Amino acid sequence: MSILITPETKILIQGITGDFGGRHAKLSIDYGTQVVAGVTPGKGGQFFEHAGKKVPIFNSVKEAAVATGATVSAIFVPPPFAADAILECVEAELDLAVAITEGIPIKDMVRVKRVITGKKTRLIGPNCPGLVTPGTGEGSSGGCRIGIAPGYIHKKGHVGVVSRSGTLTYEAVYQLTTKGIGQSTSVGIGGDPVNGTSHLDVIKLFNEDPDTHGIILIGEIGGNAEVEAARWIKDNCKKPVAGFIAGATAPAGRRMGHAGAIVGGAEDTAAAKIAVFKECGIEVAATPSDMADALIRAAKAKGVTLS
Amino acid sequence: MNIHEYQAKALFEKFGIAVPKGVPAKSAAEFDSALAQLPEGPTMVKSQIHAGGRGKGTFTDGFKGGVKFCKTKAEAKEIAGKMLNNTLVTLQTGPAGRKVQTVYFTVASDIKKEYYLAVLLDRATSRPVIVASTEGGVEIEKVAHETPEKITKIIIDPGYGVADFQVRQLISALGLTGAEAKNAAKLVQNLYRFFWETDASMVEINPLITTPAGEVLALDAKVSFDSNALYRHPEIVALRDLNEEDPKEIEASKYNLSYIALDGSIACLVNGAGLAMSTMDIIKHFGGNPANFLDVGGGASKDQVVAAFKIILGDPNVKGIFVNIFGGIMDCNVIAQGIVEAVKEVGLKLPLVVRLEGNNVAAGKKTLADSGLTIVSGDTMADAAQKIVKLVA
């Protein structure tokens, strides 16, 4: 099993006719993902063609979902229209909306977050790489890839990876794969200060998933989401967890690429978060090269088999 | 994006937030006309730079204090002459300091009591929060640490805005009554409206003051705006002061590179913010010091790599370069070709360690090896970081 998505999940892509959305739609189709619809207002009735597949395009998310049975959307629309695109998924009662778009105004997300609270649709992102549930084919193909992550670095298996950062997720996944350890699902929750799904939300899902045997939790400076997740893990999670926090050398008050990666006070520094990780029994990776090894150490200590 | 105090206060006035009357001056020739707009009497002179701690700062020529109280306008004019075009060093500017290119004259208000008031995003609830304290004029972080009970926080429902009862709670926590309470309530409502309508990411008034006449005034103003939302606020973009920004950061932004200068000697060029931050961390872990944060983004092109090399090499402290690319979707060979061309174009003489991983990595490594350039290859981040630290030592 996996969390949130499986190889059978049917997805639609908002912004499939744009360069960015189109390029990644093709990569997802190549990976074996069930891309069943595209949505671009005004282009309904057209088709997105790739590798012998004809993906129908609809004017609205609701039409696309009703016609194709899609339950998940990958959102690639430009920042000024992205909040609206998310709300459209909520209205269509999709299971999951994954917002890849970077640069959405924070106020838009504050409003979106208020509207989606208590609704059926879960939001992942924005400003995130998306998620991958690896398949059994060559280069883990045959799985489900939503977003912009490289599918081929994955391997089907039993480790859950959750991170704010795209490339740091890839780094962790690749380390695992080269050591022969596969993943159940890798989830990038995004680098913005207001996002739909937190580290803790994903940790809870991994904890409940019988097929996930161990977890890598990757965080960064800013906010207290990692601390919240760590405290919950201490009390509730029996699975081995390895953690890494990026930004130990970041100067206070400067935004480090991600809008959310900014040290505001004493509590959201890398050192403070690492101290909480240790206190909560999370095996801390000393460097980003140590993430997979840290999980191997944590698994050994708990007598858990990862592969 | 940050703006100056005098700009923030001009915006405050538009939103009905009371401030002491003030006028900016950008040259000595403007002093007289600026001061003529203020009444005779006690006057403040305030250096305008994008950094805190101005009052306790020292100018590089030894003159102390970037914010001064003057008994008369004549004295204010004299003091302003000492500040303008002088370089002010504060705890937040770093040792190089900032050149003062604008001074701000304001009426020196009679202060009855100082308070703290701010609106920002509460990340835990994803909602705006109004923060207030009876301890004004000091660092709020210090108050939060030492006497947290003196801080009141009110979370705002973005669908409704500030409710009157919430304002009453806040005013009551500050111990304000009568005319002061009434004026403070109006100011809080207007400050929230300002925060919301301008897409501010933080508005801070420290200190907010009461006067013997019952007025409630913003004595200082620190405002920053969400750069993602600037596209819908051209009037705010017009307030941007490029003199306050690092020229290298401005150059980087032209190429969609995210660059932040630091004070170490090992320059980094990385794709992805998280990987870029952790590349700095791993340099430090192995005993080196990063010279910068540089994220070339997910789809680095050759032009971006060339621009990035030029920006990095513009920093005289740089003694070596660490390129760390995880080419997930990007072809590593394309990146490798970009690096080789960039190195040839800029005539690099410093040690360069490249760690490439991902898509088509074998071809990429071959391109680097066959280039005839002295590029050291690293297998993992740890391996590459240790190599560059050793090379610059």
Here the CATH number for the domain that contains residue B45 is 3.30.1490.20
In a domain, B134, yes or no: yes
The token pair at B377 is 């290859």
Q: Which residues on adjacent β-strands are paired with residue A47?
A: A56
List the single range of A106-110, B81-85, B337-341 with lowest mean pLDDT: B337-341
Give the per-residue pLDDT at B29.
Answer: 97
Maximum CA extent, chain A: 57
Give the per-residue pLDDT at A241.
Answer: 98
> What is the predicted ipTM?
0.90
Which residues of chain B have a CB within 8 Å of the CB of A290? Answer: 382
**C-alpha count within 13 angstroms, C-beta hemisphere, residue B368:** 23
Angle CA(B386)–CA(B390)–CA(B392) in degrees, nearest 5? 120
Mean pLDDT confidence for A210-217: 97
The alpha-carbon gap from A185 to the nearest alpha carbon of chain B, in Å, equals: 17
- With an 8 Å Cβ cutoff, are B199 and A270 in contact? no
In this predicted structure, the answer to whether residue A78 has a pLDDT above a threshold of 80 is yes
Of the candidates B188, B195, B260, B246, which has an alpha carbon nearest to the alpha carbon of residue B218? Answer: B188
List the single range of A79-88, A243-252, B325-334, B378-387 with lowest mean pLDDT: B325-334
Of A111, A248, A289, nearest to B158 by CB-CB distance is: A111
Give me the percent of chain A exceeding a pLDDT of 70.
Answer: 97
Q: Which of B90, B126, B225, B355 should be substituted to probe chain A, the one whose Cβ sees the most A Cβ atoms within 10 Å?
A: B126
Task: Decide if A293 contacts A181 (C-beta within 8 A).
Answer: no
Topology of domain A10-124 in CATH is: Rossmann fold (3.40.50)
pLDDT band, residue B299 (cuts 50/70/90):
low
State the SS3 of chain A.
CCCCCCCCCEEEEECCCCHHHHHHHHHHHHHCCEEEEEECCCCCCCEEEECCEEEEEECCHHHHHHHHCCCEEEECCCHHHHHHHHHHHHHCCCCEEEECCCCCCHHHHHHHHHHHCCCCCEEECCCCCEEEECCCCHHHCCCEEEECCCCCCCCEEEEEEEECCHHHHHHHHHHHHHCCCCEEEEEECCCCCCCCCCHHHHHHHHHHCCCCCEEEEEEECCCCHHHHHHHHHHHHCCCCEEEEEECCCCCCCCCCCCCCCCCCCHHHCHHHHHHHHHHCCCEECCCHHHHHHHHHHHHHHHCCCCC
**What is d(CA A277, CA A217) in angstroms, rounded to the nearest whole number?**
10
Mean pLDDT confidence for A182-196: 95
Interface residue B62 vs chain A (CB under 8 A): no
Mean pLDDT confidence for A100-114: 96
Interface residue B378 vs chain A (CB under 8 A): no
Of B121, B281, B329, nearest to A247 by CB-CB distance is: B281
Where residue B259 falls (left for φ over 0; alpha for ψ -120 to 50; beta otherwise) is: beta
- B115 part of the active site: no
- With an 8 Å Cβ cutoff, are B328 and A165 in contact? no
Catalytic site residue from B6, B104, B115, B116: B116
Interface residue B161 vs chain A (CB under 8 A): no
Q: Which residues on adjacent β-strands are paired with residue B266?
A: B290, B320
In this predicted structure, the answer to whether residue B101 has a pLDDT above a threshold of 90 is yes
CATH of the domain spanning A153-302: 3.40.50.261
In sign, the C-alpha dihedral spanning A274, A277, A279, A283 is negative
DSSP state of B110: P
Q: Which residues of chain B form beta strands (DSSP E)?
A: 22-25, 43-47, 58-59, 67-70, 87-89, 98-99, 103-107, 113-122, 127-133, 151-155, 200-210, 216-218, 222-225, 258-261, 266-270, 292-295, 320-327, 352-358, 375-377
- With an 8 Å Cβ cutoff, are B226 and A105 in contact? yes
Q: Which of A287, A290, A291, A293 should be substituted to probe chain B, the one whose Cβ sees the most B Cβ atoms within 10 Å?
A: A287
Which residues of chain A have a CB within 8 Å of the CB of B157? Answer: 114
Is B304 found in the same domain as B290?
A: yes
Pairing mode of beta strands B87-89, B58-59 = antiparallel
Which residues 6+ apart lie within 8 Å of B149 measured at CB? none
**Last residue of some domain: B107, B137, B168?**
B107
pLDDT band, residue A70 (cuts 50/70/90):
very high
Is B201 found in the same domain as B327?
A: no
pLDDT in tens, A125-161: 999 999 999 999 999 999 999 999 999 999 999 999 9
Give the per-residue pLDDT at B124.
Answer: 87
In this predicted structure, the answer to whether residue A253 has a pLDDT above a threshold of 90 is no
Give the per-residue pLDDT at A219.
Answer: 94
In a domain, B8, yes or no: no
Give the per-residue pLDDT at B145.
Answer: 80
The alpha-carbon gap from B239 to the nearest alpha carbon of chain A, in Å, equals: 19
pLDDT band, residue B319 (cuts 50/70/90):
very high
In this predicted structure, the answer to whether residue A12 has a pLDDT above a threshold of 70 is yes
In a domain, B303, yes or no: yes
- B204 part of the active site: yes
Which residues of chain B have a CB within 8 Å of the CB of A270? Answer: 281
Give the per-residue pLDDT at B281.
Answer: 95
Phi and psi angles of residue B272, each rounded to the nearest 5 degrees, phi first: 100, 135
The alpha-carbon gap from B255 to the nearest alpha carbon of chain A, in Å, equals: 14
Give the per-residue pLDDT at A215.
Answer: 98
The token pair at B69 is 């109280």
In this predicted structure, the answer to whether residue B203 has a pLDDT above a threshold of 80 is yes
Q: Is B178 exposed, middle or buried, given 0-12, 13-18 or 19+ CB atoms closer than 10 A?
A: exposed
Is B322 found in the same domain as B233?
A: no
How many C-beta atoms lie closer than 10 Å to residue B189's C-beta? 18
Q: Which domain holds residue B80?
A: 21-107
Q: Which residues on adjacent β-strands are paired with residue A186?
A: A132, A161
Give me the percent of chain B exceeding a pLDDT of 90.
Answer: 73
List the single range of A84-88, B201-205, B339-343 with lowest mean pLDDT: B339-343
Is B268 found in the same domain as B311?
A: yes
Pairing mode of beta strands B200-210, B222-225 = antiparallel
Catalytic site residue from B5, B135, B180, B204: B204
Which residues of chain A have a CB within 8 Å of the CB of B284? Answer: 248-249
From residue A257, alpha-carbon distances to A292, B222, B227 in Å are 25, 22, 12
Give the per-residue pLDDT at A263.
Answer: 65
Mean pLDDT confidence for A24-41: 96
Which residues of chain A have a CB within 8 Å of the CB of B229? Answer: 105-108
**What is d(CA A38, CA A15) in angstroms, rounded to the nearest whole number?**
7
Task: Decide if B352 contacts B376 (C-beta within 8 A).
Answer: yes
In this predicted structure, the answer to whether residue B140 has a pLDDT above a threshold of 90 is no
In a domain, B363, yes or no: yes
- With an 8 Å Cβ cutoff, are A191 and B281 in contact? no
**What is d(CA A271, CA A175) in angstroms, rounded to the nearest whole number?**
24
In a domain, B370, yes or no: yes
- With an 8 Å Cβ cutoff, are B277 and A287 in contact? no
Which residues of chain A have a CB within 8 Å of the CB of B277? Answer: 165, 220-221, 246-247, 249-250, 256-257, 261
In a domain, B265, yes or no: yes
**What is d(CA B115, CA B167) in angstroms, rounded to the nearest whole number?**
15
Q: Integer distance in angstroms from the first to the last C-alpha of chain A?
A: 14
In this predicted structure, the answer to whether residue B96 has a pLDDT above a threshold of 90 is no
pLDDT in tens, B67-77: 999 999 999 99
**What is d(CA A25, CA A124) in angstroms, rounded to the nearest whole number?**
18
Indicate which CATH number applies to the domain containing B147.
3.30.470.20
Task: Decide if B133 contacts B116 (C-beta within 8 A).
Answer: yes
List the single range of A173-182, B263-272, B304-313 with lowest mean pLDDT: B304-313
Is B352 found in the same domain as B318?
A: yes
Which residues of chain A have a CB within 8 Å of the CB of B144? Answer: 265
Provide the chain B residues 329-368 that lie in CB contact (below 8 A) with chain A: 329, 357-359
Task: Decide if A287 contacts B281 (C-beta within 8 A).
Answer: yes
In this predicted structure, the answer to whether residue B231 has a pLDDT above a threshold of 70 is yes
Q: Is B36 exposed, middle or buried, given 0-12, 13-18 or 19+ CB atoms closer than 10 A?
A: exposed
Domain count, chain B: 3
Give the per-residue pLDDT at A1.
Answer: 73
Is B372 found in the same domain as B277?
A: yes
Give the per-residue pLDDT at A133.
Answer: 97
Which residue type does B184 have?
A
Q: Which residue of A has its CA nearest to B144?
A: A265
Domain with CATH 3.40.50.720 in chain A: 10-124
pLDDT in tens, A272-291: 999 999 999 999 999 999 99
Of A110, A251, A258, nearest to B126 by CB-CB distance is: A110
Give the per-residue pLDDT at A266.
Answer: 65
Instruction: Count Cβ–Cβ pairs < 8 Å, chain A vs chain B.
Output: 175
Interface residue B224 vs chain A (CB under 8 A): no
Which residues of chain B have a CB within 8 Å of the CB of A257? Answer: 258, 272-274, 276-277, 293, 295
- Average pLDDT over all residues of chain A: 94
In sign, the C-alpha dihedral spanning B355, B358, B364, B366 is positive
Is B202 found in the same domain as B302?
A: no
Of A106, A165, A261, nearest to B201 by CB-CB distance is: A106
Phi and psi angles of residue A156, each rounded to the nearest 5 degrees, phi first: -65, 135
pLDDT band, residue B39 (cuts 50/70/90):
very high
The alpha-carbon gap from A112 to the nearest alpha carbon of chain B, in Å, equals: 10
The most confident of the ranges B84-93, B182-191, B291-300 is B182-191
Give the per-residue pLDDT at B298.
Answer: 67
pLDDT band, residue A254 (cuts 50/70/90):
confident
Give the per-residue pLDDT at B391.
Answer: 95
Indicate which CATH number applies to the domain containing B295.
3.40.50.261
Which residues 6+ apart lie within 8 Å of B299 measured at CB? B329, B330
How many C-beta atoms lie closer than 10 Å to residue A266's C-beta? 12
Is B122 found in the same domain as B90?
A: no
Which residues of chain B have a CB within 8 Å of the CB of A104? Answer: 228
Task: Decide if B38 contacts B23 (C-beta within 8 A).
Answer: yes
The alpha-carbon gap from A274 to the nearest alpha carbon of chain B, in Å, equals: 13
The alpha-carbon gap from B372 to the nearest alpha carbon of chain A, in Å, equals: 29
**What is d(CA A289, CA A273) in angstroms, rounded to the nearest whole number?**
19
Of the candidates A59, A61, A58, which has an alpha carbon nearest to the alpha carbon of residue A74? Answer: A61
Task: Decide if B187 contacts B13 (C-beta within 8 A).
Answer: no
Domain with CATH 3.40.50.261 in chain A: 153-302
Q: Which residues on adjacent β-strands are paired with residue B260?
A: B293
Phi and psi angles of residue B366, each rounded to the nearest 5 degrees, phi first: -65, -40
Angle CA(B38)–CA(B198)–CA(B143) in degrees, nearest 5? 75
Task: Decide if A147 contacts A24 (C-beta within 8 A).
Answer: yes
- With an 8 Å Cβ cutoff, are A165 and B272 in contact? yes
pLDDT band, residue B341 (cuts 50/70/90):
confident
pLDDT band, residue B301 (cuts 50/70/90):
confident
pLDDT band, residue A251 (cuts 50/70/90):
confident
Is B230 found in the same domain as B270?
A: no
In a domain, B125, yes or no: yes
Of the candidates A87, A261, A259, A14, which has an alpha carbon nearest to the alpha carbon of residue B228? Answer: A259
